[in-house]
Amino acid sequence: MEIPLLVQPLVILLSTAVLTPLIDIVGKQAKAEKIRDIFAIAGFLAAFYSLINLQSAISSSGRQTYILGTFGVPAGGVQLTADLLSVYMALIFCGIGLLVAIYSVRYMEVDSGLDKYYALLLTLVAGMIGVAFSGDFFNLYVFWEIMCISSYTLVSFRKYRWEPVEAGFKYLVMSTVGSLLALYAISLLYGYTGTVNLKALSTMISSGQISASPLSLYFAIGMIITGFGVTASMVPLHTWLPDAHPAAPSSISAMLSGVVIKTGVYAMCRSLFTIFSPASFDYGTVLMIFGILTMTVANLMALMQRDIKRLLAYSSIVNIGYILTGVGFGAYALTHYSSSPGLATPVAVFALMGAMFHILNHAVGKGLLFLCSGCFVHEAKTRDIPELEGIGRRMTWTGTSFSIGLLALAGVPPLSGFWSKLFIILAGFSLPEDSFMKFISILVVLNSVFAASYYLWLVQRIMLKEPKPKIAGAVEAPASMLLPIVILAAVTVVIGIWPGAIISLAESAGRVLLGG
Amino acid sequence: MVEPWQLYAAAASAAVIIGMYGVASKRNMLKTIIGIEIITSSVGLNFLALGSRGGTVDPLAQSIVVVSIAIGACVAAVALSIMINVFRHYGSLDLRKLRRLRW
């Protein structure tokens, strides 16, 4: 029996996850423990390859759908569906997962229980890809929880230290309550319509077949934004992130900051834009305001940190703010200029393209930064920035890549972060008669300048200062840890210099949200 | 005339609020986990209440609730194992004792 192309990545990742502990037992008996790492990396490679096949199949013949079982009224069933947006996100998730798995071979070798580590890493990525491929809320919730449970366990992986255990508990409580709020919103939507299928929900709500008042639909929208916003770490709900990301092993921090929080943004955008047409529901304003709040608060907090991983964690929250603001610009333009779609649609496409492009840039950039900081912490045995000063001069490759990552996120022109920030800001200015959007974009510009200041300050401290005697003996990381770092740094530079291909991918992903 | 499903839905939303109160205010980790379990169950009850308006319960709602119970059990297992590790570190389940994380 041939497995459909759409299900292949999930089947590969989940079966690799199940087999990894068994391979580990065999490997221990054969005195070849690394075989389990190689097996997990092979799983990621195979999944990545099948995703590339899926991408080319979708771009040539359109959306793919696979129904696992049919039941329920109308068009129910467990439906997997992939369009250009899903596969765009899935490629980012799987790519970062692959590089993190390569990095973990040497980085995690001092830890025990690595069979579970790789199995959880595989289920984490499988969960995220499943969220991206879900065509109904039931499916989305199940994959969402697969992802969440794997990440709680990975955050508290080093359970012999107090910090991961505490941070893991805080993360678990906040994130579980958030997902349950989202599930409550799903149950309300199910109550109004009798279905959990995204497409069916969208048709029923836009055609007005249901008896629910707009107020109760706005209640569901609020619950969805709050529920998924916890994982996306929107500002009033972000407090778990600066604890959980530094406490996790650096490879997992790269995963969490790079892609897991993006899954929150993806789930929020997908459910809002698909079900509630932005022309008739005004959630763009809320997203814009929360985006601005998120980046401003996190910028101020980031400046006060001494811990390098904590600073990077706050900077992840800042970047979620940019993405939310970009998505908010798109929805706002469609809501407030719905009478003139010729004016609003190009702005919305542009804003969503910027947001999707920034998702990729931040995933690559923040993955790079956390992997580099993992190398620094591995060598210097400290996360304190004053003690790490000058370590980049001892570890040239890591230090240079770290600086490239920081400059990219600061938005220095030839690097990738510049383009996506530019697009989001330009989208805000492209309706010059709208003073609210202009005001928000001015705040975005101010925030990026502010953020650039501490990125550059960090470059100066890590790369330019004289190393202290305590870290004078630091040596370069082993080659298998450098490989993912150098790949990510190269991707940042290449996207920055030739952004054309990625822009067209991000644009087609953004158009999917608008129903195109 | 209040129909039975409306009473169930009202009870479910009340139980969500009770669970949130438990998570937010209790100082004992075990009680926090119980709060999470209350929210899980009440969301399931809400699904069943809204799915039973036609007199019979919709199989879609039932299958969602069965799966969400299974997921709730997994979350509880992870939460309890973290709780055991906290107890090993501190000898206490008091959340105030483990606020060593900075803001």
Residue A496 lies inside a defined structural domain of this protein: yes
Convert the pLDDT of each residue in A283-314 to its tens digit. 889 999 999 999 999 999 888 888 899 999 99
Say if the Cβ atoms of B64 and A196 lie within 8 Å: yes
Longest dimension (CA), chain A: 72
**Contact between A183 and B68 using a beta-carbon 8 Å cutoff:** yes
Residue A352 lies in a domain: yes
Instruction: Count CA within 13 A, CB hemisphere, residue A233.
Output: 29
Q: Which residues of A touch B (CB under 8 A)?
A: 71-73, 76, 138, 141-142, 145, 148-149, 152-153, 156, 159, 162-163, 165-170, 172-173, 176-177, 180, 183-184, 187-188, 190-191, 194-196, 239, 242-243
Residue A350 within any structural domain of the chain = yes
Compute the nearest-CA separation of B1 from chain A (Å).
18
Residues 6+ apart with CB under 8 A from A268: A224, A225, A228, A229, A232
Closest CA to A191 of B51, B68, B39: B51
Give me chain A's average pLDDT, please: 88
Q: Who among A166, A184, A196 is closest to B98 (CB)?
A: A166
**Residue A289 neighbours by CB under 8 Å, 6+ apart:** A328
Backbone angles phi, psi at A100, to 5 degrees: -65, -40
Token pair of B43, please?
Answer: 């969301």
Residue A75: pLDDT above 70?
no
> A27: Cβ–Cβ under 8 A, 6 or more apart, which residues?
A33, A34, A35, A36
The residues near B51 (Cβ < 8 Å, ≥ 6 apart) are: A190, A191, B57, B58, B60, B61, B62
What digits encode the pLDDT tens for the residues A409-461?
Answer: 988 888 888 899 999 999 888 887 888 889 999 999 999 999 988 899 888 88
**Closest approach of B2 to chain A, Cα-based (Å):** 17
Name the nearest CA neighbour of A485 among A100, A108, A45, A105. A100
- Contact of A428 with A441, CB cutoff 8 Å: yes
CA distance, residue B55 to nearest chain A CA (Å): 14
Confidence at A70, pLDDT banded by 50, 70, 90? low
Q: Which of A234-238, A260-264, A351-355 has the lowest mean pLDDT?
A: A234-238
Report the pLDDT value the prediction gives residue A76, as an integer from 0 to 100. Answer: 57
Which residue among B20, B58, B67 sits closest to A72, beta carbon to beta carbon? B58
Please state, in angstroms and rounded to a whole number, the distance separating the CA atoms of residues A168 and A288.
Answer: 30
* Residue extents of the structural domains in chain B: 4-98
- Confidence band of A89 (pLDDT split at 50, 70, 90): very high
pLDDT (tens digit, 9 = 90+) per residue, A371-416?
999 998 888 888 888 888 888 888 888 999 999 999 999 888 888 8
In single-letter form, the type of residue at position A209 comes to: Q
The count of structural domains within chain A is 1
- Type of residue numbered A315: S
User: In whole angstroms, what is the distance from residue A155 CA to residue A161 CA?
Assistant: 12
- The whole-angstrom distance between A256's CA and the closest CA on chain B is 18
% of residues, chain A, pLDDT over 90: 45
Look at residue A206 and tell me if it is in a domain. Answer: no
CA dihedral A88, A92, A94, A97 (to 10 degrees): -170
Q: Is residue A320 part of a domain?
A: yes
For residues B32-50, give the mean pLDDT: 93
Contacts with B87 from chain A: Cβ below 8 Å? none
- Please name the residue that has the structure tokens 């005195």: A31
pLDDT confidence bin for B103, thresholds 50/70/90 = very low
CA A129 to the chain's CA centroid: 11
* Cα dihedral across residues A93, A99, A104, A107: positive or negative: negative
Of B43, B79, B82, the CB nearest to A184: B43
A187 contacts on B by Cβ (under 8 Å): 43, 46-47, 50
d(CA A499, CA A422): 12
Q: Would you place residue A197 in the very low, low, confident or very high pLDDT band (cuts 50, 70, 90)?
A: confident
Burial zone of B7 (CB within 10 Å; 0-12 exposed, 13-18 middle, 19+ buried): exposed
Is residue A122 one of the residues assigned to a domain?
no
- What lies within 8 Å, CB to CB, of A349 at 6+ separation is A330, A507, A510, A511, A514
The number of helix segments (H) and strand segments (E) in chain B equals 3, 0
Q: Which residues of B touch A72 (CB under 8 A)?
A: 58-60
A169–B79 C-beta distance less than 8 A: yes
- For residues A49-63, give the mean pLDDT: 89
Contact state of B82 with A188 under an 8 Å Cβ cutoff: no
Task: Show residues of chain B in contact with A142, CB under 8 Å.
Answer: 67, 71
Check residue A342 and give its pLDDT.
80
For chain B, helix, strand, coil in percent to 5 are 80, 0, 20
State the CATH class of domain B4-98.
Answer: mainly alpha
* Three state DSSP letters for A235-297: HHHCCCHHHHHHHCCHHHHHHHHHHHHHHHHHHHHHHHHHHCCCCCCCCHHHHHHHHHHHHHH
- What's the CA gap between B45 and A445, in Å, rounded? 47
CB B32 within 8 A of CB B26: yes
Q: Is residue A383 part of a domain?
A: yes
CB atoms within 10 A of CB B28: 13
**pLDDT for A130 beyond 60:** yes
Residues A423/A397, Cβ–Cβ less than 8 Å: no
- Distance separating alpha carbons of residues A413 and A415, to the nearest angstrom: 6
Average pLDDT over residues B43-67: 87
The mean pLDDT value for A275-279 works out to: 85
Rounded Cα distance between A265 and A269, Å, is: 6
CA distance B101 to chain A (A): 7
pLDDT at B100: 63
Q: For the full predicted model, state whether its pTM sits above 0.90.
A: yes
Which of B43, B47, B86 minimises the CB distance to A169?
B86
Give the mean pLDDT of A463-481: 81
How close is the nearest chain B Cα to the Cα of A117, in Å? 15
Average pLDDT over residues A152-167: 90
CA A453 from chain centre, in angstroms, equals 24
Query: Rounded mean pLDDT of A365-372?
Result: 93
Q: What number is the ipTM of this complex?
A: 0.94
Q: Is the pLDDT of residue A73 over 50?
A: no
Quick count: other Cβ atoms within 10 Å of Cβ A28?
13
Q: Which residues on chain B place their C-beta less than 8 Å from a C-beta of chain A?
A: 9, 16, 20, 23, 29, 32, 36, 39-40, 43, 46-47, 49-51, 58-61, 63-64, 67-68, 71, 74-75, 78-79, 82-83, 85-86, 89-90, 98, 100-101, 103
Q: Which of B39, B61, B67 is opposite residue A190, by nearest beta carbon?
A: B61
Mean pLDDT of A249-262: 91
Helix (H, G, I), strand (E, B) or coil at B54: coil
Please report how the helices A214-232 and A162-193 are oriented relative to each other, as an axis angle in degrees rounded to 10.
160
Instruction: Let me know if residue A430 belongs to a domain.
Output: yes
pLDDT confidence of residue A69? 63
pLDDT at res. A80: 87
Which of B6, B30, B31, B64 is most worth mutating to test chain A (most A CB atoms within 10 A of its CB)? Answer: B64
A162-193 vs A198-206: helix axis angle to the nearest 10? 50
